[in-house]
Amino acid sequence: MSTQNIECLIIGSGPAGYTAAIYAARADMKPVMYAGMQPGGQLTITTDVENYPGYPDGIMGPEMMELFRKQAERFGTDVRYGMVTKVDFSQRPFKIEVDESQHLLAETVIIATGASAKWLGIPSEQKLNGKGVSACAVCDGFFFRGKEVAIVGAGDTACEEASYLAKICSKVYMLVRRDSFRASKAMQHRVQNTPNIEILFNTETDEILGENKVEGMRVKNSQTGQTKEIAIQGFFVAIGHQPNTDVFKGWIDMDETGYIKTLPGTSKTNIEGVFACGDAQDKVYRQAVTAAGSGCMAALDAERFLAANKHAVA
């Protein structure tokens, strides 16, 4: 198979990737997108999205991503299904391998591979995902206003999300596996001084209870092995996210957890002509709207890079 030369290659297809595609296509950069393992990204496993501007009645996550895709395709984006399995960023045009078989050349690359929430790995967690189980308190906390919920985690993010939920929910159980937090002292003090947060140390989740919605949880004391059931309506997992960036290791500068480092205020990476956007480089906000904004930045940065280098694909 002959190697194809692409002006703008977008890897990943969530809000960041699709927005980058819309801008790149309108700039006549003829973008090609590889949708990856989960076309549409994390929003395809999200039910109601109520915090994205322009949808006053809310919208289902999968439907929203379908609309993003149609808009990108309307302007000429070539959306393809496949996984990028290898890259060579040593020189332009960059060499890209897809599905371990197809080879591409790209003048610019926009990385929009996102991040995946880490889960506990119990069957009921996946069965009730979107039915009371969530990995984003900021996204889904509103649906549990006035209700009792639980959150699993011991770091800063877990403490932050527990504090957020405490403002909305009547009661928040915080499940901490060990006998202490990993969070900073300031965050620990915040949750410890919030009256409606009950911290359960040495506590593991044995099972999330309910058939079609979360109705409770069975927890186990990790020291005594004793279990007990607690009635809740929502269950939040805050044990971290894993950026989907392994394929770029060795080429792109990342932090210790794998998030891509970008030049502040831009989408530029340490490789000229390679840009990153969305949750692959954002471990702070992780929202659809901020991902979309950074996708716009990446496309504009790529367009300006091509113009400055006066080199486009024939």
pLDDT tens digits, 181-193? 988 899 999 999 9
State the Cα–Cα distance between residues 274 and 115, nearest whole angstrom: 18
State the Cα–Cα distance between residues 253 and 255, nearest whole angstrom: 7
Contact 35, 82 (CB under 8 A): yes
Report which residue type is found at 313: V
Residue with tokens 């039910």: 47
Does the pLDDT at position 3 exceed 80?
A: no
- Radius of gyration for the alpha carbons in the chain, expressed in angstroms and rounded: 21
State the Cα–Cα distance between residues 9 and 110, nearest whole angstrom: 6
Does the pLDDT at position 311 exceed 60?
A: no
Q: Which of 94, 100, 113 is nearest to 5 (CA)?
A: 94
pTM: 0.80
Catalytic residue positions?
136, 139-140
Map out the domains of the chain as residue ranges: 4-116+241-309, 119-237
Model confidence at 313, in pLDDT bands (50, 70, 90)?
A: very low
- The length of the chain in residues reads 314
pLDDT at 45: 65
Does the pLDDT at position 88 exceed 90?
A: yes
Read off the pLDDT of each residue in 241-269 and give the average, rounded to a whole number.
Answer: 96
- Cα Dmax for the chain: 69
- Return the half-sphere exposure (C-beta side, CA atoms, 13 A cut-off) of residue 194: 26
- Domain 4-116+241-309: assigned CATH number: 3.50.50.60
Q: Which two tokens stand for residue 279?
A: 């949750």
Does the pLDDT at position 1 exceed 80?
A: no
State the Cα–Cα distance between residues 144 and 302, nearest whole angstrom: 41
Same fold yes or no, 4-116+241-309 and 119-237: yes
Angle between helices 185-192 and 156-168 (to 10 degrees): 30
Mean pLDDT, the chain, rounded, equals 92
- The 3-state DSSP class for residue 4 equals strand
Q: Counting runs of H as helices and runs of E as strands, what totals does the chain give?
A: 7, 19
Q: Which two tokens stand for residue 314?
A: 């024939």
State the Cα–Cα distance between residues 226 and 46, nearest whole angstrom: 34
Bond from prior residue into 93 cis (ω within 30 degrees of 0): yes
Residues near 178 by beta carbon (within 8 Å), at least 6 away in sequence: 154, 201, 202, 222
The top-level CATH class assigned to 119-237 is: alpha beta
State the Cα–Cα distance between residues 279 and 70, nearest whole angstrom: 22
